[in-house]
């Protein structure tokens, strides 16, 4: 099944959501809540909460404020806005036969348009950072011929699949052949 990326609207800027979680944890630290309870409520790992609590106790709430991205992105916000305009044109406008944006196709567009090289995983992370989400189609293809599928399932599939059960007595295990003891006792 093909995955496709679509733009979603988020009330948060990139990185703002994580900072909001950490600041909620600070409020919970001040109330005296336990790490496991905070982790469960915020849907994060207990290790993260432990790390946040340690930083908070040593340096205060400033320690949990966002410090920005770890590295400069290859595409600036201005260039990403250009990329978004290209993505909104659709894959067909860029030479693909269908309307599905995959990470590898977006990687190709970035290479052609900006002469920058991303990995497929890097493209997926870039898109998620800017509010795009990966989605799988919910419906079947329009071109699907239900009569042909039903005919194939009725005629061809049984020949390909073969019988489920053995016609002769044998082992009940699918992976272990009959034992020699059973063969000597029940010829």
What's the pLDDT at 5? 62
Q: What is the DSSP string of 39-69?
A: HHHHTS-HHHHHHHHHHHHHH-GGGGS----
Tell me the per-residue pLDDT of 82-91, one tens digit each, with 9 for 90 and over: 999 999 898 8
What's the pLDDT at 110? 92
Mean pLDDT of successive 10-residue stretches along the chain, which has 187 residues = 55 66 89 92 92 90 76 80 91 88 91 90 87 74 84 84 61 58 58
Six-digit token string for 72: 């400069």
What's the pLDDT at 21? 87
What's the pLDDT at 54? 92
What's the pLDDT at 165? 58
What's the pLDDT at 109? 93
- Taking each helix axis from N to C end, the angle separating 35-42 and 46-59, rounded to the nearest 10 degrees, works out to 120
Neighbours of 134 (CB within 10 A): 14
């Amino acid at each position: 099944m093909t995955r496709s990326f679509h733009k979603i609207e988020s009330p948060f800027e990139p990185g703002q959501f994580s900072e909001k979680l950490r600041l909620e944890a600070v409020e919970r630290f001040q109330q005296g809540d336990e790490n496991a309870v905070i982790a469960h409520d915020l849907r994060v790992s207990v290790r993260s909460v432990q790390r946040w609590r340690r930083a908070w106790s040593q340096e205060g709430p400033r320690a949990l404020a966002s410090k920005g991205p770890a590295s400069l992105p290859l595409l600036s916000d201005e260039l990403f806005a250009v990329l978004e305009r290209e993505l909104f044109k659709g894959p067909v406008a860029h030479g693909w036969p269908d309307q599905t944006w995959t990470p590898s196709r977006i990687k190709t567009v970035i290479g052609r348009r900006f002469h920058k090289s991303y990995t497929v995983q890097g493209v997926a992370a870039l898109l998620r950072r800017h509010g795009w989400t990966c989605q799988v189609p919910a419906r079947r293809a329009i071109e699907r011929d239900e009569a042909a599928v039903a005919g194939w399932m009725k005629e061809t599939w049984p020949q390909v699949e073969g019988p489920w059960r053995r016609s002769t007595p044998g082992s009940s295990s699918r992976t272990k052949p009959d034992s020699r003891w059973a063969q000597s006792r029940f010829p």
